[in-house]
Each structure stands twice: as structure tokens, then as C-alpha cells.
Structure 1
Amino acid sequence: MASRPKVSEMMLAFDEHVAEQLKATPEVLTTEGEIDVADLFINVPKWRKYAKVSCVFADLAGSTNLRKGRWEASTASIYESAVRPAVVILDEFGADFIDIQGDAAFGLFVGDYSRSRAICAGITIKTFGEQVLVPALHKKWPNDPPETGFKIGCAISDLLGKKIGISGTAHNAPVWAGRAVNYAAKCSQQAQAHEMIVTKPIAEAIQDNEYLFYSCECADSPVELWKDRTIEKVAETDKAGMILSSSWCKRCGDSYSEKICSGSWKRPDLDEFRMSEVKDKYQKVLNFRDSNAKQIRRGIYG
């Protein structure tokens, strides 16, 4: 058996490493275009900076209870059934980087319509969990179905990227410094199964897109699908987010997703609804002005 290094020797070496790293000022290189993991530095004091990276974090709810009353092989099959499709979805929507962390997966999106593609990927993973995964699990175990589904988080920020670990071995991986991954994970932690929570910058993009914010053409009348949600443990600039409980419509999901990912935001079928909203807002302004005028007159002549 090979001899083990002494703890004291490792602490001495790490003390020198920490002092050297904190003394140095790493170079930050602003990088445009797609994220290329092979282009990230290792054992070199250089980081790459990517602007406005959207992150989708998909976490499997109740994963610690999935083994309850089941064989290990059955639990393994549930993980495989759930996580692999989530990764495929992230890839299909053009994620530049994908990572798996236990029962969770996250994807990073940059480039054209990256925010829209990230949002659509999150909704699609949520839809898969609700419309495909859970029904299949209930069919497999009708007497004791697993209580699960995906909890989705989405956030955006600039990110610094670098490989950290041991060069020349398999023991190194990209590290992403910045809010996007951390906040997307916090959003997913605060969601329940089949829910998607997004930070304020993502919410603003959703509110500006009629294909995302309102119910589809199948509804009798347009309904706002997203509700306000305060996100805990994030900065003030991000905490006024929103939450989604619904999934893609089986009839309209394909066409809406395609339009959103190609930059479309205005729905022709909402022209009449849009005009009625404008009229309602204008009427409220007139009513407010009229009420103020009456109060002023009463104050002067009453």
C-alpha cells in the first residue's frame, strides 16, 4: 500500500499556494461568442468573462425519497429516466455548457436569443416532468407513485469561467463565478415540483413577450400565466421575480417555442385584447383625473 502524504506537509504546500494566488492579480479576458470549455485556462492566472449568460437549473424534487420501498435498480432507472432527458432538452435549445450535479442539471446560454432559449428550455423540462415522467412513474407504481417532478430556476448575469483542479488528470472542471448559476439554483430550491421561478431580469423579458406571458390561443381569453414571486437570498436587483405553474400547451407548444427562440414577441391574435387593455388604462387615467378635479373643486368651493 502506497504511503499517504502527511497532513502537515499538505497544509504547508497549500499555505504557499493560497499566498501565491492571493498575491497575484488574475487576468480577465472578455470573450465573445459561444462558451468553449476547451478554451478555458487551467493552472494559469487567467479567467474568461462572458457577458449576459442565462442559466437554467433543473432539480428533481423529492429525490431523497425516490428509493423508498423500491429496489436500487428501480431508483437508478428513475434517475436515468429523469435526468438524461433534461440534459437532452438543454442541448436541443443550444446550451453552450451543460453540467450534471447529482439529480440536477444546469445549462448556460450565450449568443442570439440566449435568454429566450433558456426560458423555453426551462419550460420544456418542466413540461417533460409533468406530462411524461410523472405519468410514467404513476403507471409503473400505481399503489405508491413517487412524488417528484422538476423544480426549475432561471437567472442571468455576467460570468467568469476557468478550469480549476489538477492539470493533466481527470480531476479538473470548469468553475463559473457570478450570480447566474448561484441564483438559478436558489430559484429552483424555492420552487415546488412542476414550478419554474425566474429572477427579475428574466421576468422582464417574459413580460415583454406575449407568447410567454399570456395563455395560448386555446384559451377562451388571454390569462397571465406568470405570477409575482419574491426570491429569497438574492440581490435587490434580482429578487422581484416571477413563478410559472403551467406547462406548454400540447397544441401550441411547438409553434410558440419556435417563435420565441427566433425573436418573436407580438401575437397577432392578441391585437384586439391589446387595444382593449390600452383603452382600459386610458380610461383609468381619465377617471383619476376626473376624481382629482372634483376633489380640487370641493376643496376650493366646498
Structure 2
Amino acid sequence: MALSDEIKSHSDTTFKTTWESRDGTVVPEPSALKLTNDAIYFKRATVLYADLDGSTNLVEKKTWSFAAEIYKTFLYASARLIRNQGGSIVSYDGDRVMGIFIGSQQSNDAVSCALKINYAVKQIVQPSLKTNYPKSD
């Protein structure tokens, strides 16, 4: 089967198939997700999406290694805080990380996490950057 035929077949099947859903109480592992019309329904969930401000300019104007260090420290801090606050990492996309919070206090947990990420960047990561790269802007 040609690749175009395979894509058409998949598209036709997807558009014709009825969605099946099940209630979710935990964020599923990637292996539990299907590439079919299968959904996990959460009665309440809060998504936190944290991205690095100015990252395009960073990549265009700084060395690749410096930009990578910035990305790595930001993503590490964000991911550790998301997990520490009870969230689950659902994706990374370049300079962004997405976490999901479920449970009775999920919105409070997500907001608290966002504030902790902001604090960590300003009070921990940026001072460490200035110590190690004092001439960097």
C-alpha cells in the first residue's frame, strides 16, 4: 500500500469511527493511549503550560550550547516543580512543558506550581546564570 493510501485509509477510519470514552482518575501512561477515537474523560483537570519567554531570540543571538543550558535548567526546574506539586508531565515541546493536575485541589495545585516556577526562575536559575556567566544579558 502506498503511503498516501495508508494516510487516506487512516483518515477515513478516524472520521467514520464513533468515539469511545472512559472516566479517568489518573493521568494515563503513554502506553495506555491509543491512536484511535478513544478518549479519557476527566471530570475536572487543570493544565499548566510553562514556556521560556524570549527563547527564539535566545537561539538566534546566543551560542547553541548557551541556549541549551538555559532550556535545560528551565525545563528541569519546571518539571521537578510540576511533579512535586502533584502534577504529571504530559509533553515537552522545545522550550515548553505541559503538566496536568487532577483531583479535588487541582486548580490550586497548578496555580501554586506556576508561582513556584516563577520564583525558581527568578530567584534560583537566573542568579545561578549570572554567577556562571557574569557578562551575559
Shorter chain as denominator, the TM-score bin is: 0.7 to 0.9
Q: Report the secondary structure of 1:54's partner residue.
A: strand
Task: Compute the TM-score of the two structures, normalised by the length of structure 2.
Answer: 0.85
> Partner residue of 2:77?
85
Q: Report the secondary structure of 1:28's partner residue.
A: strand
Distance in 1 between residues matched to 2:114 and 2:47, nearest whole Å: 9
> Partner residue of 2:6?
13
1:98–1:107 CA contact under 8 A, matched in 2: yes
| CA-to-aligned-CA distance 1:150-197 (integer Å, 9 cap, x gap) | xxxxxxxxxxxxxxxxxxxxxxxxxxxxxxxxxxxxxxxxxxxxxxxx
1:54–1:108 CA contact under 8 A, matched in 2: yes
Q: Percent identity?
A: 21
1:59–1:104 CA contact under 8 A, matched in 2: yes
- Matched letter for residue 29 of structure 1: R
1:53 has 2:53 as partner: no
Give the alignment partner of residue 116 of structure 2, picking from 106, 121, 124: 124
Q: Report the secondary structure of 2:26's partner residue.
A: coil
Question: 1:130 deviation in Å?
Answer: 1.2
1:95–1:107 CA contact under 8 A, matched in 2: yes
Distance in 2 between residues matched to 1:144 and 1:21, nearest whole Å: 50
Question: 1:49 deviation in Å?
Answer: 0.8
Distance in 2 between residues matched to 1:126 and 1:26, nearest whole Å: 39
1:29 has 2:14 as partner: no
Distance in 2 between residues matched to 1:24 and 1:133, nearest whole Å: 48
- Matched letter for residue 60 of structure 1: L
Distance in 2 between residues matched to 1:87 and 1:36, nearest whole Å: 17
1:30–1:48 CA contact under 8 A, matched in 2: yes
Question: 1:39 deviation in Å?
Answer: 6.8
1:56–1:108 CA contact under 8 A, matched in 2: yes
Higher relative contact order at CA 8 Å, sep ≥6: structure 1 or structure 2?
Answer: 2
Question: 1:69 deviation in Å?
Answer: 4.3
CA gap 1:63/1:43 in 2 versus in 1, 3 angstroms: closer
CA RMSD of aligned residues (A): 2.1
2:50–2:98 CA contact under 8 A, matched in 1: yes
> Partner residue of 1:282?
none
Give the alignment partner of residue 133 of structure 2, picking from 141, 144, 151: 141
Distance in 2 between residues matched to 1:13 and 1:91, nearest whole Å: 39
- Matched letter for residue 20 of structure 2: E
Distance in 2 between residues matched to 1:25 and 1:80, nearest whole Å: 41
Task: Note the 1:1-302 alignment, pairs <5 A.
Answer: 9-31=2-24, 33-37=25-29, 40-67=32-59, 68-70=61-63, 72-145=64-137
Q: Which runs of 5+ in 2 are unaligned?
A: none
Distance in 2 between residues matched to 1:137 and 1:113, nearest whole Å: 34
Larger-Rg structure: 1
Aligned residues: 136
